[in-house]
Amino acid sequence: MKARVHVMLKTGVLDPQGEAVRHALGQLGFDGVEAVRQGKVIELDLAETDRAKAEQAVTEMCEKLLANTVIESYSVELD
């Protein structure tokens, strides 16, 4: 089973990388971009075939390592 984890900074947390990207886009002539939030996508290949167990395992991975839950939120997709 494949899992995809999307990790983003929580609303209200300063995103300096996103701001740098927004500024660079403006310098390249893309003036309509008002805000950019940058995150990360983590893809996992899991041996687990039970969907509920896989979701539980990936959630635990996020809580312990993949996301800093103080300042980041995450979502999990399973295929």
At residue 70 the predicted structure's pLDDT band, cuts being 50, 70 and 90, is very high
pLDDT at 18: 97
Residue extents of the structural domains in the chain: 2-78
Please state which CATH class domain 2-78 belongs to.
alpha beta
DSSP 5-72: EEEEEPTTS--HHHHHHHHHHHHTT-TT------EEEEEEE-S---HHHHHHHHHHHIIIII--TTTE
Task: Write down the pTM of the prediction.
Answer: 0.88
pLDDT tens digit sequence for 26-56: 999 999 999 999 999 999 999 999 999 999 9
